[in-house]
Homo-oligomer: A and B are copies of this chain.
Amino acid sequence: MSSTYWSYIKVEELLALQNGHAKSDEDLSNDEVMFITIHQIDELWFKLILRELVSVRNLFAQPVVPEQSLASAVRGIRRMQAVLEHLAAHFSLMETMTTRDYLDFRDKLGSASGFQSAQLREIEILLGLPDAERIALGGGQGSYLEALRDPTGAPSSAFHRVQMRLADKPTLLEAMREWLYRTPIQGSIPGQAGDAETVATFLDEYSDHHAKVTRSQKEVAEARAFLRGEDAPAAGSAEGGSTQALEAERARASRVRAALVFIESYRELPLLAWPREVIDAVVAFEQQFVVFRQRHARMVERVIGRRTGTGGSAGVDYLDTTALKYRVFREVWAVRTLLLRKGDLPALRRPEIYGFASGAP
């Protein structure tokens, strides 16, 4: 096949896009071209993350997730994490620019701001960050969606991207919770006779064991309440619904959390080995997201100082706050505080369910 590197990679088209608001990038300083280029590279990385995110979400959104596809889900999540690592590393390159070099072209940015990256918003949305948990930008700004309008007020391409993503359901969080909900616990699956009792018994046993090794009564009580899903509406969606809906929501949350605890507790079992890897990968990914946001705040503080951001945001403080507050997989993190030593675990029932066809579990 006749193919060349430059036609496949589209090198010339690509290298013609670094001119910002000028006719040609010949008219710009090296610093401004670097500034533009790093943002373009960030967008390219975001695109890769979004693609993997859609694939992983689709995988978990299936009514039945084939066990052997979990390894590919893990690979996708780990790749997203690896990309985030590269993104975080870029900040050190931006820091080769002095404050004064930056000030030389800052006025050109007008109200353009990294906050207007549609793809970063899409990633947050598709992961499952609810709008209600977003931090206001400050400075009398409207919602984050409003920041994506054109100067004329018309919806931009960025606005459209984000709106389409808001309609792209389920989120990864929702899809993974559905999948976790179906995890066999002590050999029992939802719909099976006695499943609710089996799960409740497991959680009671677990809570009892947890109580034995934990000094603080407050921590013990919180653990028990969490495992029973008593705070569920906060995490779920039953807004002020009927008592019945609330009950269902709690039962649902309780089984999801039981699954998280169960998978971590018997992580050596063949059937749980890949679910465990999924959870480990999710933890590593969300941790890397926090690291990325915190590193972003550090770069801004260093290069720009604590000026008001071009987008009108409170700058460094806004970035540091979102780093600590934006958290999607809250239940996964909460479970880490409840884990027990192997010797302190409840007894495993029906281990044969969790083994390979060819041998003992």
Q: Which size class do A's interface residues fall under?
A: 35 or more
Cβ 8 A contact of A341, one of B40, B104, B354? B104
> How does the 8 Å CB contact mask read for A167-194 relative to B, with 1 for contact and 0 for none?
0000000000000000010000000000
Q: Which residues of B contact A342 (CB under 8 A)?
A: 100, 104
Interface residue stretch chosen among A15-23, A127-135, A240-248: A15-23
CB-CB under 8 A for A107 and B324, given A40-B9, A67-B356: no
Q: Is A256 an interface residue (CB 8 A)?
A: no
CB-CB under 8 A for A307 and B337, given A2-B110, A47-B15: yes
Q: Is A1 an interface residue (CB 8 A)?
A: yes
Complex-state Cα separation, A104 to B341, whole angstroms = 6
Q: Are the C-beta atoms of A37 and B33 separated by less than 8 Å?
A: no
Cβ 8 A contact of A358, one of B68, B98, B271? B271
Q: Is A232 an interface residue (CB 8 A)?
A: no
Residues of A within 8 A of B (CB): 1-15, 17-18, 20-21, 30, 33-34, 36-37, 39-41, 43-45, 47-48, 51-52, 55, 67-68, 71-72, 75-76, 78-79, 82-83, 86, 89-90, 92-93, 95-96, 98-100, 103-104, 107-119, 150-151, 156-158, 184, 216, 219, 264, 267-271, 273-274, 280, 283-284, 287, 290-291, 294-295, 298, 301-302, 304-308, 320, 324, 333-342, 352-359, 361
